[in-house]
Amino acid sequence: MHKKKDLETKMPITWCPGCPNNVILYVLKSVLKELVDAKKIRKQDIVVVTDIGCAGKIYDYLEVNAFYGLHGRAIPIATGIKMGNPGLTVIAVAGDGGTYGEGLNHLVSSSRLNPDITVIVINNGVLALTKGQPTSTHPSIGGEPIFDPVPLALASQASFVSRETAFDLRDLQSTVKAAIMHKGFSLVDIFEPCLSYNNDGERMKRDTERVCGKDIQSDFEESLRPKIRTGVFRKMSRPTLEQKLRLSKKKS
Amino acid sequence: MKRSILIGGEAGRGVDRTAALIAEIFSDCGYFCFVYRDYGSFIKGGHNFSVVTISSEPVFSHEDEFDLIIALDNSALEKHVESLKPSGKVFLNSDEKQSAENVISVAADGFAADKKVGRSFGNNIFIGAVLGCFGLDWRRGFKAIGGRFSAGDAAVVKEALRLGHETWRGESFGFEPKSQKLKISTGNQAAAKACVEAGLDLCFAYPITPATGFVDALSQSGKVTVHQPEDEIAAVNQTLGAVFSGAMAATATSGEGAALMAESFSLAAMAEIPFVLYWASRLGPSTGVPTYSGQGDLKFALNIGHGEFPRVVVAPGDANESYSRTMEAFYFAYKYRLPVVILTDKNLAESYYNFEALPSLLRPGKFLVKPKAGYKSYAFTENGISPRLAPGQGPIVRATSYEHDECGLTVEDPETIEAMSEKRWRKAKFLEKEIAKLHPCRLYGKGKNLIVGWGSTKGAVIDALKRLPGYSFLQISYVAPFPAREVEKIISKAKRTILLENNSTGLLGRIIREETGIEIKEKLLKNNGRPFTAEEIAKRLQNRYA
C-alpha cells in the first residue's frame, strides 16, 4: 500500500464541517499506512470495530475490514473477533457515551482480561448525534464531577492506558501507533471538543498538561489532577487473553 | 417390567450423582432409564430428590409412585413416604434397626466415617442395595461405573457395592442383565455433544441455570474453548465477533439472559452473522423459580430482537433430539447466515434420558468461501444467501448493524433498504423447503383424539399414550418457520384436539391460531415448575372425557 487513499472509501464524510473527528480519522489512516508500509501489520488483517453515533461513522470512511456494532458494545465485539482469529489487528473506535456509559462494564473487564485489542475513545463529552445530550465526561451538568476513565482503566489493570487530545497531532499519532503495536489491551482516550454541542476547545487547550514519558505504573493522583493530563500512563507487558486460552491464528 | 426409585436428601449430599450412577448401571445392563431431578436454589441443605425410572421398555418420564425410596436422611423419608407403593421398600441412612418392616437400615454414614471418605461416598452402599433388590450382581454394577472413579476411590466403591448388596435379603425384582447396552445423557450433554461434532471452536457464556450444564459439558469435552465474560451482553457480542472473524462460536443462556441478548439477536439478523443461541428456559416471569421448569418463553423466543427478520426456533423433545436438532441449528445458522434458537427447558436440559447420537442428515460447517477479487459481504444472490468470507485473506469483509449496500457500506436510500430487506427474507423461502424435510412436526400414534404439544412434554405424553387408547400426539419441533400446512392437516383430521403445555396460557395454541386460523379450545396446562407425568396426563384426560 503506497497511498493513504488506499485506506479510504468513496463515502462522503457527514461529520459537521471542521469536526475534530477528521483529525482522528487522518491520524488513524496515517498510522495504519505507516505500520503496513513498515510491514509491522498487514492491511488485510486490520479490523476496525465501531460503536454507533458520530464515532461509529468512521466505519464507512476506512477501506479495511470493519464491523459496525451496537452502542456500547464495540469492546466485546472486538474481543470476540480477536479470540476468533488472534492473527487479526483489532481496533475499536467508540465514543465516550458508549465506552464510559452504556458499555462501561466491558472496559473494566477487558482491561483485566487483556485481549490484544486497541480501544480508541473519541471523548467529546456529549451524545452528539442525538443532538448534544451530556455524557459522564461533560464538564458542566449541574456542577457534577466529571468521570475520568484513566484511573478506572489503571485500577482495572489495563496494560496500556493513555490520553491524548485531537489538537496535538504528533503526540496523538505516536500514542495511537504505540497502542496498536502494544500486545494487550490498550486504551487511548482522545479529548476533543464537539463543535456543535460542547465547543470548549480553548479551555481544553488551556487545561491540558502533558505527562508523557513518565510511564506511570498506577499513579491515580497523576491522572486526577485538575488539569487534563495527557500522555501514556501505563505500558506494561503481561500475557494476553488469547495467549492464556491458547487460541491460535487462523491460516490465511 | 418397570420400577421406580426416589433418592432424596440435602443438597450437597450426592442425590443427583447417585441417581445418575444407578441409571448408568441399569442402562449398561440393557434397561431403559429416565431420571427426573428436583432441586431448589441452595448449595448445601434443603431437600433435593431425583426419581429414577427403570424399565424393560423405552421410558421418557418419571412416575408419581415409587417401588423404592432411598432416604439419605429422615426428612426424605417423611416427605415421600406417602408416595411409596404398598409393596414398596425404603432404604434409610441409619445404623439402627428399624421397627417398620418395609424400612431397611443402610449404614452409609457409618461406612463413610469408617473409611474416612466424604459422606457422599456412603451413597454407593445404597447403590449396592438397589442392585441386590433388583437382582443384579454387584460386580456387574461395578463394571458399569468403576471407570468413573480413580483407582483408590474405585476400591472403596467396590466394597460399598458389595456391602450394600448384602443388605438386601428379600426376593429380588428379577432384573437380569441383557446383551444390549444403552447410554444415558441429559439434554444439555446431548446438545453439547452435537456442538463438538459440528466443529464448535468457542462458547461465550455467563452462568445461568439450567444452561450451565451445557457449557460445562462443552468445557469437559476438551474440544471447545469456553470463555465466561462479564455478562450476557458481552457473551453474545463476543460470539458475533468470533463468528465474523471465522470461528464457529455459540452462546447459551436462559430466558433472563436472553432478555439481555435481545439487541444483539437483531444485530445478528441485520449483519447476517450465523448465530446459534442455546436457550434453556426456567420458570418465569423474572427470577421466577430458577431451578424449576416452564415453557413460558416460547413467544419471547419467536419475537426476540427488534425489527423484522427471518429466524429459526427449534424445540427438541428429548436428548436424542437435543443432539440432532442442535446439529441442524448449526447447519441452518451458518448456511443461511441468520439467528437460530435451540429452545429447551430445565426438564429436558437436566433430566437423564437414554441417548443415542443418531447420524445427522445434514453436515454442519462454517460455510465460508475462498477469497476472490471483487468480493462483497452482502452480495445479492438468487437465494438471498451472500457467500461468507472471513477477514484476513485480502478482500475487505464487513459486518454492520446499519442498513447497507452489497459492500456493507451504510445506506439510507429507499431502493437499497427495500432490496436488502427482500434479500434477507428471500433466504426464508429456501430455508422452509429444507426444514420441511426434517419432520418439523411429527405425529405419534393413530388415535382420533389428538394431543398437541412441543418440547420437553413429549416424554410424558409418549408414555401416557400407552394408557390412552384412542389418542395420538402431534409434536411441533420447528416453531419458526412454522409448518402451518402440515399442522393444519393433522389437526383438521382429529376428532378432538387438546393442547398440552407447561405454561399458563397455552402459547403454542396461540401460535397455531396465528399460523393456521385453528383455535384449540381444550387445554391441559401446568405451570407450577413441575413436569407432567404420564399418569397425570392419562388421569386428567380420562376424568375430563369419561
pLDDT at A216: 53
Which residues in chain B (373-392) have CB-CB distances under 8 A to chain A? 390-392
Provide the ipTM.
0.96
CATH number, domain B184-354: 3.40.50.970
| Per-residue pLDDT tens over the stretch B374-403 | 999 999 999 999 999 999 999 999 999 999
| Per-residue pLDDT tens over the stretch B135-160 | 999 999 999 999 999 999 999 999 99
DSSP string, A104-152: HHHHHHHHHH--SEEEEEEE-SEETTTT-EE-TT-TTSTTPPPP-HHHH
Quote the pTM value.
0.97
pLDDT at B502: 98
What cell was used for B481? 418457520
Of A65, A79, A109, the CB nearest to B396: A65
CA distance A42 to chain B (A): 9
Cβ–Cβ below 8 Å for A250 and B390? yes
Domain with CATH 3.40.50.970 in chain B: 184-354
Rounded to whole angstroms, the Cα distance separating B41 from B43 reads: 7
Give backbone dihedrals phi and psi of B204, rounded to 5 degrees, phi first. Answer: -110, 115
Which of B267, B401, B411 best tests the A interface by mutation, with the highest count of A CBs <10 A?
B401
Residue B400 CA to its chain's centroid (Å): 33
Give backbone dihedrals phi and psi of B53, rounded to 5 degrees, phi first. Answer: -105, 130
Of B242, B393, B408, the CB nearest to A252: B393
Cβ–Cβ below 8 Å for B392 and A85? yes
Count Cβ atoms below 10 Å from residue B124 Cβ, excluding itself.
Answer: 32
Lowest mean pLDDT among B123-127, B141-145, B167-171, B497-501: B167-171
Structural domains present in chain A: 19-128+140-239 (3.40.50.970)
B22: contact with A, CB 8 A cutoff: no
Burial B257-275 (b: 16+ CB within 10 A, else e): bbebbbbbbbbbbbbbbbb
Give backbone dihedrals phi and psi of B184, rounded to 5 degrees, phi first. Answer: -120, 155
Q: Which residues of B touch A69 (CB under 8 A)?
A: 237, 267, 401
pLDDT at A212: 57
Domain with CATH 3.40.920.10 in chain B: 2-167
CA distance B398 to chain A (A): 5
Q: Where are the alpha helices (DSSP H) in chain A?
A: 21-37, 53-56, 58-61, 74-84, 96-97, 104-113, 149-155, 169-181, 201-207, 220-224, 241-244
| Per-residue pLDDT tens over the stretch B471-496 | 999 999 999 999 999 999 999 999 99
B394: contact with A, CB 8 A cutoff: yes
| CATH value of B441-545 in 3.40.50.920, 1.20.1050.10, 2.102.10.10, 3.40.50.300 | 3.40.50.920
Cβ–Cβ below 8 Å for B401 and A76? no
Q: Where are the alpha helices (DSSP H) in B72-211?
A: 74-80, 108-115, 123-134, 138-145, 151-167, 187-198
- Closest CA relative to residue B23, chosen from B347, B322, B353, B319: B353
pLDDT at A144: 79
| CATH value of B2-167 in 1.20.120.1200, 3.40.920.10, 3.40.50.880, 3.30.200.20 | 3.40.920.10
Lowest mean pLDDT among A166-170, B230-234, B442-446, B513-517: A166-170
Cβ–Cβ below 8 Å for B234 and A79? yes
B219: contact with A, CB 8 A cutoff: no
pLDDT at A204: 81
Of B225, B234, B243, the CB nearest to A247: B225
Average pLDDT, chain B: 96
Give backbone dihedrals phi and psi of A230, rounded to 5 degrees, phi first. Answer: -120, 165
Rounded to whole angstroms, the Cα distance separating B534 from B457 reads: 10
pLDDT at A218: 46
Which of A85, A88, A109 best tests the B interface by mutation, with the highest count of B CBs <10 A?
A85
| Per-residue pLDDT tens over the stretch A91-139 | 999 999 999 999 999 999 999 999 999 999 999 999 999 999 999 988 7
Q: Is the model's pLDDT at B227 over the cut of 90?
A: yes
Nearest CA in chain A to B393: A252
Residues of chain A under the 50 pLDDT cut: 218
Q: Which residues of B touch A103 (CB under 8 A)?
A: 233
Instruction: Find the radius of gyration of the CA atoms of chain B.
Output: 25
What cell was used for A56? 461509529
Give backbone dihedrals phi and psi of B73, rounded to 5 degrees, phi first. Answer: -150, 170
Of B201, B225, B234, the CB nearest to A106: B234
| Per-residue pLDDT tens over the stretch B103-113 | 999 999 999 99
Cβ–Cβ below 8 Å for A66 and B240? no
pLDDT at A203: 81
Percent of chain B with pLDDT over 90: 95
Of A69, A70, A88, the CB nearest to B245: A88
